[in-house]
Amino acid sequence: MEAIVDFALLAGLAAWAVAIVRLRSLFGAAMLFGIYSLHCALIFVVLDAVDVAFTEAAVGAGISTVLILGTLAITGIKLEVRHTRALIPLLITGTIGAALIYASVDMPLVGDPNAPANLHIVPDYIEGSATEIGIPNVVTSVLASYRGYDTLGEVTVIFTAGVGVLCLLGRGKPKRSRKPRG
């Protein structure tokens, strides 16, 4: 049953992606991207990543879509103009995609409990979350404690991006606009 849900959701996601590729309306593409992100969140729930689903629904589907819509409102451009021939890019992406699928045959099956990724340090984290840290949510204890430096780095990146956005939009006033900040 879980597999059927997984197949159906992933197939739907691929359909959204193809729809975004084909759509020429930028507003439509932005809204479809919001739907696509929410659909991603559903898949994360099926794959047991509830924290990631929560973040994707709030940040990916919410803030990203608002930022794109804000930029569309400032630029006021509605339709994408197509210039290039699509044949060579199609060939390139097709070749890379085929190579990746060929390479994926060697990967461990999805859900394999003995895959190398699931064996190394993760059992220690799950055990230590109860005994060493005392938080039932393992993701929280890894994020804030075992890998706290990663989170510090993340905050640095967000700060840098925020400073960058302010430097870009703070001085020369763009026409009839208010800055869309992240």
Q: Segment 40-69, which members bind other proteins (CB under 8 A)?
A: 40, 43-44, 47-52, 55-56, 59-60, 63-64, 67-68
Q: Say whether residue 145 binds other proteins (CB under 8 A).
A: no
Q: Say whether residue 8 binds other proteins (CB under 8 A).
A: no
Task: Report the C-alpha gap between 78 and 180 in whole angstroms.
Answer: 18
Least CB distance from residue 99 to other proteins, whole Å? 9
Backbone angles phi, psi at 25, to 5 degrees: -70, 125
Q: Say whether residue 101 binds other proteins (CB under 8 A).
A: yes
Task: Report the C-alpha gap between 144 and 35 in whole angstroms.
Answer: 30
Residues numbered 122-141 forming contacts with other proteins, rule: CB under 8 A: 122, 125-126, 129-130, 136-139
Least CB distance from residue 133 to other proteins, whole Å? 11
8 Å CB contact between 38 and 16? no
Q: Say whether residue 91 binds other proteins (CB under 8 A).
A: no
Name the burial class of residue 154, with classes exposed (0-12), middle (13-18) and buried (19+) by CB atoms within 10 angstroms of its CB.
Answer: exposed
Q: Say whether residue 26 binds other proteins (CB under 8 A).
A: yes
> Residue 25 forms beta bridges with which residues?
79
